[in-house]
């Protein structure tokens, strides 16, 4: 298999009633964990890089690592820019070899969000690259807006207009989901999601997958969600495993003893997520 665009993966997923997991990567271990987990359950996967990771590691370096691993993988891998905050960032990603970009202008007024998203979609499609847009604001993380408020939720009519006017391939929705750890289990607005899904035929994207209960994930997939993003939980799996291995009484600092267990633990977590999203558990 190899690198593929995201659209082909997601259209098949929405049609057949499952979702493809999208996991944030920032270095070699995270890339190996994500793609290795997808291979272990033989399902497609999306490796994604947001502005934080791009600024941390450099888009070009990350692109080389992902391409190297993806091109040797036994499953299809899409390489996606998460929360591209500008036209320039999206174009830079395309130049680096990303096969998909998100343009997130959801904090702008509707018409401005449409205008910048449409421009990115036009250029990305000319390069064979898929595009994800966002309507409504998913709070937390890189957005300072508070999550869950009615004002930030996706309006079904607006979503339909946005999809038609921009030509995006996938649409991120705000239905009570948020980035980071939830203080209490989130209550997703499935009635709203279902009204969006009735009006928008392209695959829908659920951000803030960390901490959403399994049953709610399954329900979201029934209502058109075909891509689910998980970042915080994955980063935390690495972080906690690092702490644990170093607190072992016989721990000695060398590369395998420090890095192998965190990578294995993270891969295990991703494998479970992919199984859940693909309906295998
Ligand atoms: Zn997000």
Q: How many CB atoms neighbour CB 68 within 10 A?
A: 11
pLDDT tens digit string along 15-35?
999 999 999 999 999 999 999
Residue among 231, 131, 110, 220 nearest 176 (CA):
220
Instruction: Please tell me the distance between residue 257's alpha carbon and the centre of ligand 1 in angstroms.
Output: 32
Q: How many CB atoms neighbour CB 190 within 10 A?
A: 16
Instruction: Please tell me the distance between residue 49's alpha carbon and the centre of ligand 1 in angstroms.
Output: 11
CB 2 within 8 Å of CB 66 = no
Tell me the C-alpha distance between 117 and 258, whole Å: 42
Instruction: Please tell me the distance between residue 237's alpha carbon and the centre of ligand 1 in angstroms.
Output: 18
Give buried/exposed letters for 82-116 (b at 16+ CB in 10 A, else e). bbbbeeebbbbbbebbbbbbbbbbbeeeeeebbeb
Instruction: Please tell me the distance between residue 7's alpha carbon and the centre of ligand 1 in angstroms.
Output: 18
CB 169 within 8 Å of CB 122 = no
Instruction: Please tell me the distance between residue 24's alpha carbon and the centre of ligand 1 in angstroms.
Output: 10
pLDDT tens digit string along 242-256?
999 999 999 999 999
The verdict on whether 82 is a catalytic residue reads: yes
Question: What's the confidence (pLDDT) of residue 1?
Answer: 62
Ion ligand 1 nearby residues (CB, 5 A): 207
- Secondary structure of residue 184 in the 3-state scheme: coil
Whether the per-residue pLDDT at 128 is higher than 50: the answer is yes
Whether the per-residue pLDDT at 148 is higher than 60: the answer is no
Instruction: Please tell me the distance between residue 254's alpha carbon and the centre of ligand 1 in angstroms.
Output: 35
Question: What's the confidence (pLDDT) of residue 147?
Answer: 45
Q: How many CB atoms neighbour CB 242 within 10 A?
A: 15
Residue among 100, 17, 102, 4 nearest 44 (CA):
4
Whether the per-residue pLDDT at 151 is higher than 80: the answer is no
Catalytic residue among 16, 55, 82, 189: 82
% of the chain exceeding 70 in pLDDT:
96
Whether the per-residue pLDDT at 204 is higher than 70: the answer is yes
Domain boundaries in the chain? 6-277
Q: For residue 90, what are the contacts with CB-CB under 8 A and spacing of at least 6? A: 81, 84, 101, 103, 120, 123, 124
Instruction: Please tell me the distance between residue 179's alpha carbon and the centre of ligand 1 in angstroms.
Output: 6
Mean pLDDT of the region 210-216 = 95
> What architecture is the 6-277 domain classified under in CATH?
Alpha-Beta Barrel (3.20)
Q: What is the DSSP letter of 203?
A: P
Question: What's the confidence (pLDDT) of residue 139?
Answer: 80
Backbone φ, ψ for residue 61 (5° rounding): -65, -45
- Secondary structure of residue 122 in the 3-state scheme: helix
Q: Quick one: tokens of 6? A: 């995201």
């Amino acid at each position: 298999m190899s690198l593929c665009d995201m659209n082909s993966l997601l259209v098949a997923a929405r049609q057949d009633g499952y979702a493809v997991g999208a996991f944030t990567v920032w270095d070699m271990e995270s890339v190996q964990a994500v793609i290795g987990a997808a291979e272990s359950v033989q399902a497609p996967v999306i490796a994604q890089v947001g502005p934080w990771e791009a600024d941390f590691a450099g888009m070009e370096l990350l692109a080389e690592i992902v391409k190297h691993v993806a091109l040797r993988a036994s499953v299809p891998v899409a390489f996606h820019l998460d929360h591209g905050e500008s036209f320039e960032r999206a174009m830079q990603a395309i130049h680096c070899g990303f096969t998909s970009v998100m343009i997130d202008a959801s904090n702008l007024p509707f018409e401005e969000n449409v205008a910048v998203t449409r421009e990115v979609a036009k250029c990305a499609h000319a390069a064979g690259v898929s595009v994800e847009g966002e309507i409504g604001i998913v709070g937390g993380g890189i957005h300072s807006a508070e999550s869950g408020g009615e004002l930030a939720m996706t309006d079904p009519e607006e979503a339909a207009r946005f999809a038609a006017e921009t030509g995006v391939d996938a649409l991120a929705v705000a239905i009570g989901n948020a980035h980071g750890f939830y203080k209490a289990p989130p209550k997703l607005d499935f009635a709203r999601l279902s009204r969006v899904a009735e009006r928008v035929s392209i695959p829908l994207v659920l951000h803030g997958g960390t901490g959403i209960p399994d049953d709610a994930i399954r329900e979201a997939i029934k209502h058109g969600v075909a891509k689910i993003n998980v970042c915080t939980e994955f980063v935390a799996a690495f972080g906690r495993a690092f702490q644990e291995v170093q607190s072992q009484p016989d721990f000695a600092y060398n590369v395998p003893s420090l890095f192998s267990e965190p990578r294995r633990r993270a891969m295990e977590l991703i494998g479970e997520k992919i199984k859940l999203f693909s309906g295998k558990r």
